[in-house]
Amino acid sequence: MFNSGKDLSGHAPQNLAGQWEERWHPLREEWVMVAAHRQNRPWIGQTVATKPKAIPTYLSDCYLCPGNSRVSGKQNPAYSGVFVFDNDHPCVGPDAPIELSAPPPPYRNRPANGMARVVCYNPRHDMTLAQMEAAQIANVVEVWQQQTLDLGNRPEVNHVLCFENKGEVVGVSNPHPHGQIYATNFVFKTIETEMLASQRYLKESQAGRNLFQDIIRAEQADASRILYEDEYSIAFLPYFARYAYEVYIAPKRSVPHIYELDSKEVASLAQALKSVTVRMDNLWQMSFPYVMPLHQAPSDGGNYDFFHFFIGFLPPLRQPNLIKYLAGPEIGGGNFLSDTSPEAKAAELLGVSDSLHYLEQLPSEETL
Ligand SMILES: [Zn+2]
C-alpha cells in the first residue's frame, strides 16, 4: 500500500507538494525543511535481514536483572514489577561537589544538584515496552507519575526529565528494558523552548488557545498521520516531524505533568504506547531504536496550566541500518532537514499491525 506509486527511476515526481517545502514547528518556533523529493536512492521497502539476537530472560552479569549486584556493591532485590534505584553514576546528585572555584565572567558554574535514577520496566532481561502487556506498561506510567511528583517536590529540583534511550545506535548496549530520570535544578532547553512557544501562542491567539490542543485538532482534521486514538489519548506523527518516524503520544486533556492523569487516562496512554511501539518493531521486524523523552512542565512551583504533557519518540533510523545523521543544517545551523515526508512515514507505520508483535507471530509457512 505505502510503496505504490514511487518513482524508482531517480527522477523527481511531478507533484512535489508535500514533498518539498518548509513546515513550521509550532512547539519549537522554527522551520523544518522537508526535502523528501530528493531521495535519490529509493529503498525497496522489504524487511531487514538482520536476525534478532537471541536474548536470555536473565543474565547473571546484567546490573539491572533481579538479584544481581551493581557496580556500587548494592544488590537489586528480586523484583517482579517495576524497579527504581538511584543511578550509580549520576550526572546530578546529592554528592556533587558544593565548593566550586568561580570561573572568570561571563562564565558561570554551580553545583550539579538533583537526582538521577534508573527505572527497570520489567524483571525480564529480554523484554521491551513493545512486548510488555498494556497493564504492565501502565505500571511504568504510574512509576513515572510517582517519581515526577516525589522528585519534583524536592527543593533543589526544578524539572523532572523521564526518558528512555533504546538501542545500540543511541548508545545503549544493555537491552534490559529500562529508562532514566534526571531531576535537575534547571529546566531542560526543549521544555523551556516549548513553554515559551505555548505561552506566546496563548497570548497571541484569540480567546487564549492552548497550542497543543490546536496541534491535536489539526492532526485530527488531516487524520492521515494519526497512529492511535481513543477517548483519552492520541498518537500521531506530527506534520512538522524532524525525524522520519518521530511520534507524539499525548493525553487529550491538557495537563502539565503526567501525575495529573487519572487511572483511565493512564490505561489509555499505556495502550497508545503499546500500539506505537508494536508498530515500530513490526515495521522492519527489528527492535526499533529510539530516544523517548517525556515532555513535562517544570516542577518549580510555577503555574504551567498552558503546558500540555506528551511523550515524544525520536527514532534515529531512516531505514534499517541507515541513521539520520545530524550534520550541517542540524548541528551547524540548528534547524532540521527532513529527508522524508511525514505522511509517507505515517502510512508505513499504519501498514503494519499494532496488536500482534512480530516476535509473537506464529512461524509463517510463507518464506519471504
Ligand atoms: Zn538484565
Phi, psi of 208 (to 5 degrees): 50, 70
Quote the ligand 1 centre to 116 CA distance (angstroms). 19
- Tell me which of 184, 208, 243 is where a domain ends: 184
Same domain assignment for residues 305 and 244? yes
Supply the residues annotated as catalytic: 178
Quote the ligand 1 centre to 151 CA distance (angstroms). 25
Quote the ligand 1 centre to 58 CA distance (angstroms). 6
Strands 30-35 and 337-338: parallel
Same domain assignment for residues 246 and 283? yes
Annotate 129-170 with DSSP letters as a single string: GGGS-HHHHHHHHHHHHHHHHHHHTSTT--EEEEEEEESGGG
Cα–Cα distance list, 163 to 54, 91, 141, 189, 294 (Å): 26, 14, 12, 15, 6
Residue 40 lies in a domain: no
Of 195, 187, 176, 312, whose CA–CA distance to 243 is shortest? Answer: 312
Domain count within the chain: 2
Residue 72 DSSP class: T
What is the per-residue pLDDT across 47-72, written as a single tens digit (0 to 9) for each?
444 556 789 999 999 999 999 999 99
Which residue has 509457512 as its cell numbers? 365
| Distance in angstroms (rounded) separating the CA atoms of residues 353 and 48 | 17
pLDDT of residue 52: 67
Quote the ligand 1 centre to 125 CA distance (angstroms). 4
Annotate 220-247 with DSSP letters as a single string: HHH-TTEEEE-SSEEEE--TT-SSTT-E
The pTM assigned to this predicted structure is 0.92
Weakest-pLDDT range from 193-202, 318-327, 342-351: 318-327
Quote the domain boundaries for residue 297.
26-35+189-353
- Tell me which of 154, 184, 214 is where a domain ends: 184
Same domain assignment for residues 94 and 221? no
**Contact criterion met (CB below 8 Å) for 281 and 358:** yes
Same domain assignment for residues 91 and 200? no
**Contact criterion met (CB below 8 Å) for 102 and 109:** yes
Mean pLDDT of the 88-95 span: 94
Phi, psi of 174 (to 5 degrees): -90, 115
Cβ neighbors of 34 (< 8 A, separation 6 or more) are 18, 19, 20, 21, 22, 23, 338, 341, 342
- CATH number of the domain residue 168 falls in: 3.30.428.10
Mean pLDDT of the 94-101 span: 94
- Tell me which of 184, 200, 226 is where a domain ends: 184
Quote the ligand 1 centre to 246 CA distance (angstroms). 28
pLDDT classification of 39: cutoffs 50, 70, 90: low
Residue 197 lies in a domain: yes
Same domain assignment for residues 121 and 172? yes
